[in-house]
Amino acid sequence: MPELRQDSTTKEWVIIATERAKRPHDFITNKKKEALPSFVASCPFCPGNESETPPEVLAYHDSRKANTSGWRVRVTPNKYPALINRGTIVRKENGKFFRKMDGVGVHEVIIESPYHNGLIPLMKDKEVEEILLAYRERYNALKKDPMVKLIIIFKNHGKSAGTSLDHPHSQLVATPIVPMHIRRKYEVATSYYDDTSRCIYCDMVREELKSDERIVIETDKFVVFHPFASRSPFETWIAPKRHLSSFGNVPTEDIVDLARVLKTTLFKIYNTLGDPDFNYVIHTAPVDDENKSYYLWHIQIIPRLSTLAGFELGSGIYINTTLPEETAEFIRNIKT
């Protein structure tokens, strides 16, 4: 019998389609993507090619001249930015229906490793830590710009996840608006706070821990789980146990633990599902709401194992062919 399940943080429903169900082991594969070399001379993100990107805004390294090799993590403006750091945030109306504004904002690339094949699941903990520290550092630098309203840090891994360059990298986009999609979630969280004086995400994490059916990893500081209303197979959330709205405020000791947790989580996915394409997104409160208690920063990982089709695009209802209880149990037991 198929089920409809409601995501309590968005009020959206998903269909858990048991009639077309796949078992977790249907996704197992030993076939991985073709291995990449550790260096590609024509890759703009490989060491030695620093002049092919816009000048860096951050690099972690021991000692070197800016924009030369010798870095471990490097952040540069995106050469083909979706938003740029020019223009005004004044909206232009051309009648009621044609509202627009300059595409003002920031779009950066976080090059995660000097190695062309440097995948997070195979890195040392320390290396993952520096990626997360770079995220946090750029977040905190950019949030000072009064035009920045929301900062989204995300990673596209693989073609069907939208990446165009193989060299491991993440991206950061700072927008001059808070999109409706985020405001709607924020409304749900605010209304929950009005009723309970508590954070809806913290309560959800607590309930997930109590039910103990969908937990993948639990540490002192973090919980990794497949949410009750997972939209797609192996959708994974990493949530902190400590309430904190903004990723910018995560203390360094937590970043250390997060690095280990993120790496382990991605390794389980990498090793079992054959290095699948995936996205992850760091969800964090809008900049002006950083100190409010309604929201919990967290990471959502979406392996791209299914396709958004007309039904999803038209209704907003996702069809998931797996039970998160089953996928969580399965992936929990994968050795790392």
Q: Please give the backbone phi and psi of residue 76, each rounded to the nearest 5 degrees, phi first.
A: -135, 155
User: Do the Cβ atoms of 123 and 152 come closer than 8 Å?
Assistant: no
Give residue 15's identity as a one-letter amino acid code.
I
Token pair of 152 as six digits: 């989204």
- In the list 76, 113, 156, 327, the residue contacting a copy of itself (rule: CB under 8 A) is 156
Contact between 191 and a copy of itself per CB under 8 A? no
Residues paired with 154 in a beta bridge = 171, 281
For the window 229-248, what string marks contact with a copy of itself as x by the rule CB under 8 A?
--------------------
Rounded CA gap, 285 and 329, in Å? Answer: 30
Report residue 325 CA to chain centroid gap.
Answer: 22
Rounded CA gap, 108 and 49, in Å? Answer: 17
Least gap, CB of 308 to a copy of itself (angstroms): 6
Give residue 118's identity as a one-letter amino acid code.
G
Contact between 165 and a copy of itself per CB under 8 A? no
Contact between 142 and a copy of itself per CB under 8 A? no
* Total residues at interface with a copy of itself (CB under 8 A): 78
Contact positions with a copy of itself (CB under 8 A) in 268-297: 279-283
Contact between 176 and a copy of itself per CB under 8 A? yes
- In the list 25, 144, 181, 335, the residue contacting a copy of itself (rule: CB under 8 A) is 181
DSSP class of residue 18 equals G
For the window 14-53, what string marks contact with a copy of itself as x by the rule CB under 8 A?
-xxxxxx---------------------------------
Least gap, CB of 248 to a copy of itself (angstroms): 16
Contact between 207 and a copy of itself per CB under 8 A? yes
Nearest 10 degrees: Cα torsion 179, 185, 188, 193: -100
DSSP class of residue 35 equals P
Collapse the DSSP code of 2 into the 3-class scheme (helix H, G, I; strand E, B; otherwise coil) and give the result: coil
For the window 47-86, what string marks contact with a copy of itself as x by the rule CB under 8 A?
---------------------------------xxxxx-x
Report the 10 Å Cβ neighbour count for 63: 5
Q: Between residues 11 and 126, which has the closer beta carbon with respect to a copy of itself?
A: 11
Least gap, CB of 335 to a copy of itself (angstroms): 28
Least gap, CB of 64 to a copy of itself (angstroms): 29
Q: Which residues are catalytic?
A: 169
Rounded CA gap, 125 and 133, in Å? Answer: 12
- In the list 72, 74, 116, 155, the residue contacting a copy of itself (rule: CB under 8 A) is 155
Token pair of 63 as six digits: 């000692």
- In the list 273, 302, 328, 331, the residue contacting a copy of itself (rule: CB under 8 A) is 302
